[in-house]
Amino acid sequence: MSCIFCKIAAKEMKSNVVYESGDVIAFDDIAPQAPVHVVIIPKEHALNMTALNGNVQGEIFKAISQVSKLKKVQDSGFRVIINNGKDAGQAVEHLHFHLLGGRRLAWPPG
């Protein structure tokens, strides 16, 4: 298996897991772009949004809600980013969501 996120989901690669359910895992980003920067992924490999199993969609949104509470950014605000495809900036070919918060976030992101 060469997908880094599949390795993290399978616990073959170390990460700081902050949330986990049967279908989803969330962990601190290794190169954070904000004080809070968590990556949320489906455990099963999905290349992008169009390949995501419909049953996992609700689990992703539950994870986003839970992580925002755990990281204490639900009240001050947070951003969720999905880069879907190469032209959108998707660097890892495994669907992933970035949850960022803990400071004022500019728009457009720089």
Q: Which helix (H) or strand (E) holds 26?
A: strand 24-28
52 pLDDT more than 90:
no
What is the domain-level CATH number for residue 47? Answer: 3.30.428.10
Please list the helix, strand and coil fractions of the chain in percent, rounded to the nearest 5, in that order.
Answer: 25, 25, 50
User: DSSP secondary-structure letter at 74?
Assistant: T
Has residue 110 been placed in a domain? no
Residue 108 lies in a domain: no
Residue 71 has pLDDT above 90, yes or no: yes
Return the H-helix or E-strand segment holding 80.
strand 78-82
Q: Is the pLDDT of residue 49 over 90?
A: no
pTM over 0.75: yes
Q: Which residue has the higher pLDDT, 110 or 22?
A: 22
Please list the active-site residues: 96
1 has pLDDT over 80: no
Q: Is the pLDDT score of 10 beyond 90? A: yes
Task: Give the pLDDT mean for 40-61.
Answer: 91
Residue 40 lies in domain? 4-101
How many domains does the chain fold into? 1
